[in-house]
Amino acid sequence: MNSILKAENITKFFYTPVEFKALNDVAFEVQQGEFVSIIGKSGSGKSTLLYILSTMDTEYGGKIYIDGNLITGLNQDKLARLRNSSIGFVFQFHYLLPEFSCLKNIMIPALKLGKYSREEIEYQAYEKLKLLELEEQALKPASKLSGGQQQRIAIARALINDPKIIMCDEPTGNLDSKNTEIVFNIFKRISAELNQTIITVTHDNDFAIASDRVIEMQDGKIINHGH
């Protein structure tokens, strides 16, 4: 299997209000097409780790490789390009632009990337909507959708640039059990059918256990790699 993400000896300190070691020598690998859940109590370091893996936080010790390329130490412009082309994000809150149509919301990261024509991007956005069974909502303003539908639109937006990895921070945190199950099944399907790598931080143990692998954190360390 192809290693899509590798973290080597990741260490992170916070200095206010007092010095605190949030991550302590964290090392693990994720293979292409794997659906991995990172769990742990609040303060275990899982969200801090996700922000570092996603290149949002660059103040850390250690090294991160994405698809075999060292990304630690790249400048902000290169990291911004990498994020837009190689990483899709799904957060607890969907962060859709409420007045824009669902279709337009999905298209934004691809328009920003500027790799394809507007027509091609629109076609791809419709394909993603079909994948998530929401094509009939394409032209509706995002604000008119239910919470579960909005989160599915956010997943479609994360998929638009065919990223190497989708990183999720509590993606079902605001959803009821029915919509949680829908979102979980979408992740399961895209990892199996599209060979898409998914790394999600979650408090939902049922969600985590049903994913391919559970990495458990405690006090800034990985205590279980889940192999």
CATH match for 35-56+85-224 among 3.40.50.300, 3.40.50.12280, 2.30.30.830, 3.40.920.10: 3.40.50.300
pLDDT at position 70 over 90? yes
- Stretch 63-86: mean pLDDT, rounded? 89
Give, in order, the Cα–Cα distances in Å from 48 to each of 11, 60, 201.
10, 10, 10
Q: State pLDDT tens for residues 177-206.
A: 888 888 888 889 889 888 889 999 998 888
Closest CA to 107 of 124, 132, 94: 124
Amino acid identity, position 33: G
pLDDT at position 15 over 80? yes
Half-sphere exposure of 108 (CA within 13 A, CB side): 16
- Stretch 31-60: mean pLDDT, rounded? 91
Highest mean pLDDT out of 49-53, 107-111, 174-178: 49-53
Local confidence band at 1 (pLDDT 50, 70, 90 cut-offs):
low
pLDDT value for 138: 83
Give, in order, the Cα–Cα distances in Å from 44 to each of 113, 209, 219.
34, 18, 5
pLDDT at position 37 over 90? yes
- Stretch 35-47: mean pLDDT, rounded? 90
Q: State pLDDT tens for residues 92-148.
A: 777 788 888 888 899 988 888 788 889 898 988 888 888 888 888 788 888 888 888
Radius of gyration of the chain (CA): 17
pLDDT value for 30: 93
pLDDT at position 34 over 90? yes
For the chain, give every domain's residue range: 35-56+85-224
DSSP state of 56: S
The answer to whether the beta carbons of residues 113 and 161 sit under 8 Å apart is yes
Q: Where are the beta strands (DSSP E) in the chain?
A: 3-14, 20-31, 35-39, 61-66, 69-70, 87-90, 165-169, 197-201, 213-218, 221-224
3-state secondary structure of 71: coil
Start-to-end CA distance of the chain, whole Å, equals 14
Local confidence band at 20 (pLDDT 50, 70, 90 cut-offs):
confident
Q: What share of the chain is helix, strand, coil (3-state, %, to 5)?
A: 40, 30, 35
Measure the CA–CA gap between 218 and 227, rounded to whole angstroms: 17
Measure the CA–CA gap between 105 and 98, rounded to whole angstroms: 9
Q: Between β-strands 3-14 and 61-66, what pairing exists: parallel, antiparallel or unpaired? A: antiparallel
pLDDT at position 73 over 70? yes
Local confidence band at 227 (pLDDT 50, 70, 90 cut-offs):
low
Q: Is the bond preceding 17 in cis, omega lying within 30 degrees of 0? A: yes
Task: Work out the mean pLDDT of the chain and round it to a whole number.
Answer: 88
